[in-house]
Structure 1
Amino acid sequence: MKYLLRKIMLYGFILWAAITLNFLIPRLMPGDPVTLLMERMEGQISPDAVAALTAAYGISDEPMIVQYIDYMGNILTGDFGRSISYFPVPVTELALQALPWTLGLVGTTTVLSFLIGTALGVVLAWRRGKVTDYMLPALTFLNAVPYFWMALLLVLVFSVNLGWFPIAGGADRFMVQGFYPEYILSVLYHSLLPAITIILSSFAGSVIGMRNMTVTVLGEDYVTMAEAKGLKPSTILFTYGARNAILPSITGFAMSLGAVVSGSMLTEVIFNYPGIGYILFQAVQSQDFPLMQGLFLLISVCVILANLLADVVYVFLDPRTRVEA
């Protein structure tokens, strides 16, 4: 319990630091959202509108500590300001619209990639030295292929040349969003190629890492003792081998799970998939500081929560974390 309390306090401090940096960085940069918006409108904004925009974006001449207190209050109420490129839509609304798309595609494929990679890595470790080792060069190649290159190649072959999948979008643009069979099938159809891209580009790393770690664990003395005691091979593999070998993989999985909210940005951009990564790319292109600020904070929170979840899982998998020094 003390282990988890220490971790919660640590991640609480990291969260506070992330929020503070998120507050300071835009205020230390030259310019402000209102000036950018006026430049885009080519000066076609009245002085009264400028004052209203200044208040809407939370720009103030108050001391920095007062602005910081107001900012923390807005964060607690879920108010991240208004977007410049989508003005006057609030940042929170844009994030909530894009979040289900990213969680549905990138979240699901990340979990599937980890499960497939971990299971296959354990099997390859148990069958080391056999014909299955010929898979390792292909897995090493897949692990080295960048997301964007894999996405472009699959789009060229299966969308442009063969026409089996749509080139871009999250669903048929002529359909009304809703939970009805036709729209759900359209969403699944549009997500197949991006999902295949993410799984092919990410599962190989899990396979190689899990195989190497399992091979190392299977060479330990306690595994040799288990074999000498005549335990079943499946018991040795999963109870003694895989359970200990998976611990380092959980940390990597937690990091990738936390980064799900940012999406596989390049994949989402290539497929014009309406997720967090695609909106973040548009915000960077448009210099939409309020939207970038809100999305960065959302990503930071998700990474922290994912790592905290990994530490909780560690408590159940590794008895050493439950034993006081």
Structure 2
Amino acid sequence: MNYFVRKLGFYLIALWAALTLNFLIPRLLPGNPVDILLAKLQQRGGIVTPDTRKAYELLLGGDSSEPLLVQYWNYLINIFRGDLGVSVSYFPTPVIEVINTSLPWTIMLVGVSTVLATVIGVALGAIVGWKPGTWLDSLIPATTLLAAVPYFWLALLLVYFFASTLKLFPSQGGYDVILDPGFSWEFIASAIQYGFLPALTIVIASVGGWLLGMRNMMVSTLSEDYILTAQAKGLSPGRILRHYAARNAVLPSVAGFAISLGFVVSGSIVTEQVFSYPGIGSKLLSAVTNNDYALMQGLFLFITLAVLVANLIVDLFYGLIDPRTRVNA
């Protein structure tokens, strides 16, 4: 019990530190979101007065003339109320609405891609590691090379071959704009078609890391005493692979998978930008470009919570399945 209490306490402190950094970092960036909004207002023929500036500052979450500690306190109160402010980039839409409209796209795209890359990479890694030194090992350099290729370059290649040349898939967007978003089969089929190339980009770029990690763990596991004992008992190679070698070698990959799921919320900024995909990545890039403090803070908050929750689940899970973890903690 003390182990779990200590872990929960540690992650609460980590959450407070993340919230504090989330408050400070955007304010260290050059520029002011209020000035950006006022400039847009002037371009439309509006008149800017001190009262106008004051109203915009309050609308965006506080008065910049207040002491930093007061702003920090108001920021924490608003966070726990669920009030993330108003986005400058998508003014006057609240930040929470911007995130709610883009988060499901990223979770579906990056989440499904991460699961597929993990399953394919772990399965191939188990097979390659089971027979090291064979022709199957030739897969390792190829997948490692693909993992080293920049996302945007790989995405552009896929767009050129599958969208521009073969015209099998759309090159940009998340769905056919003539359709109304919903749970109809036409919309779902359109979303799958538009999301295929972005998902394929992420799978190809990620599968090599899972394959290499699982392969190395399999090679290490094959020298363990329980593997030799199972072979001495005359068990079939398939049973030894599934129930002894792969079952133990996959544990680090399970931890890595849980942590990678935490980064699903952050999406793949470059991939989404190349395909003009309506996910979190494009919103984050827009927020940074426009010095949108409120949207940046909201996105970073969701990303931080996802990563912390994923790490907490892994720590608690390992504490349950491995008593040595609780003793050493």
Task: State the TM-score, normalizing by the size of structure 2.
Answer: 0.91
Residue 219 of structure 1: which of 223, 241, 264 is its match? 223
Alignment of 1:114-129 (within 5 A): 114-129=118-133
CA distance in 1 between partners of 2:261 and 2:6 (Å): 22
In structure 2, the partner of 1:27 is 27
C-alpha deviation, 1:237, in angstroms: 2.5
The answer to whether 1:260 aligns with 2:264 is yes
Residue 302 of structure 1: which of 298, 301, 306 is its match? 306
The answer to whether 1:10 aligns with 2:14 is no
C-alpha deviation, 1:49, in angstroms: 3.1
Residue 309 of structure 2: SS of its match in structure 1?
A: helix
Q: Percent same amino acid among aligned pairs?
A: 52
In structure 1, the partner of 2:201 is 197
Q: 2:140, 2:208 within 8 Å by CA — same for their partners in 1?
A: no
CA distance in 1 between partners of 2:28 and 2:157 (Å): 41
* Structure 2 spans left out of the alignment, 5+ residues: none
C-alpha deviation, 1:228, in angstroms: 2.6
Task: State the TM-score, normalizing by the size of structure 1.
Answer: 0.92
Shift in CA distance, 324/202, structure 1 to aligned 2, threshold 3 Å:
closer
Shift in CA distance, 83/228, structure 1 to aligned 2, threshold 3 Å:
same
In structure 2, the partner of 1:90 is 94
In structure 2, the partner of 1:284 is 288
Letter paired with 1:107: G
Residue 186 of structure 2: which of 182, 187, 190 is its match? 182
CA distance in 1 between partners of 2:22 and 2:113 (Å): 29
Alignment of 1:69-218 (within 5 A): 69-218=73-222
CA distance in 2 between partners of 1:21 and 1:191 (Å): 34
| CA RMSD after TM alignment | 2.1
Shift in CA distance, 31/135, structure 1 to aligned 2, threshold 3 Å:
closer
CA distance in 1 between partners of 2:320 and 2:119 (Å): 18
Letter paired with 2:16: W
Of residues 59-68 and 86-95 in structure 1, the stretch that sits farther from structure 2 once superposed is: 59-68
CA distance in 2 between partners of 1:139 and 1:27 (Å): 41
Of residues 61-70 and 300-309 in structure 1, the stretch that sits farther from structure 2 once superposed is: 61-70
Residue 52 of structure 1: which of 35, 51, 55 is its match? 55
Letter paired with 1:51: K
Letter paired with 2:230: A
CA distance in 2 between partners of 1:30 and 1:123 (Å): 52
Deviation per residue, 1:103-146 (Å, 9 max, x gap): 01111110111111111111111122333223223222222222
Letter paired with 2:57: T
The answer to whether 1:38 aligns with 2:38 is yes
C-alpha deviation, 1:232, in angstroms: 4.2
Q: 2:38, 2:48 within 8 Å by CA — same for their partners in 1?
A: no
CA distance in 1 between partners of 2:252 and 2:140 (Å): 20
What is the aligned length? 325
Shift in CA distance, 254/26, structure 1 to aligned 2, threshold 3 Å:
same
Q: 2:31, 2:291 within 8 Å by CA — same for their partners in 1?
A: no
